[in-house]
Amino acid sequence: MKRFKDKTAVVTGGSRGIGLSTAERLAAEGAHVFIMGRGETELDKAVAVIGNATAVPGDVSVAADLDRLYERVRERGQGLDVLFANAGINPLATLEELTETTHDAIFDVNVKGTFLTVQKALPLLNDGASVILTGSTAAESGAAGMSAYGASKAAVRAYARAWAGELGGRGIRVNTISPGPVNTPLWDKAFGERAEEMMATVASGLPANRVAAPEEIAAAVTFLASSQSSFVYGANLYVDGGMNQI
């Protein structure tokens, strides 16, 4: 049985990595998926992979771009059942290296972008809808070079807890997914030429002894999106190979 038959989903940051894997899974289980990302070429390739999908280019930190996304959803006429607010960036910088411009960019996308993504979806969210926000183990780990990113994800966690209470009366569930290290393009962008070396180092310190594949995070997201998690409100689901648990 397809868990998302005839459902409508939105995935931001849906053209690659965790977003793309989640969009693929939602579509495979019956949903029509709207994806948003910054690169039109990447979006076109993603739609070809996903199948039952509509791409809307845009930046989640720009309100007008989200208005265009939700207008497309509105035109479908079935409301919105699953919202995965996943878009995010993670430039690495120590306190000494961090510039005001980089700091603002991180908070614009990760915090303001998450806020706008969910707030602008409110008129479309069907009663009983599921909203999933992408957090991170960095919100608690205090990893060097990730202070601004970790702080932005701590804010996302706070959003989820408050919004779960505010929207619970409509049966709308808001939860956070907190991945650990995942083999995605974001990892390569963050570490550059040191990506493989860093992946091996991080993996050696995990009980799982490896980093995650995007599909493993997508499996957890679709659990939170489905009726199988019907009594889960305001939770933070760690999918981190044990990184923050042991």
User: Is 149 marked active-site?
Assistant: yes
Residues 70, 149, 159, 238: which is the catalytic one? 149
Locate 182 and state its tokens.
């995942």
Question: What is the distance between the alpha carbons of residues 24 and 138, in angstroms, rounded to a whole number?
Answer: 26
Q: How far from each other are the two terminal CA atoms of the chain, in whole angstroms?
A: 36
* DSSP notation for 53-114: EEEEE--TT-HHHHHHHHHHHHHHTS-EEEEEE---------TTT--HHHHHHHHIIIIIHH
Q: How does DSSP classify residue 125? A: E
* DSSP notation for 134-167: E--THHHH--TT-HHHHHHHHHHHHHHHHHHHHH
* Cβ atoms of 220 and 182 closer than 8 Å: no
Q: Name the strand (E) or helix (H) holding 43.
A: helix 40-50
Question: What is the distance between the alpha carbons of residues 219 and 28, in angstroms, rounded to a whole number?
Answer: 12
Catalytic residue numbers read 149
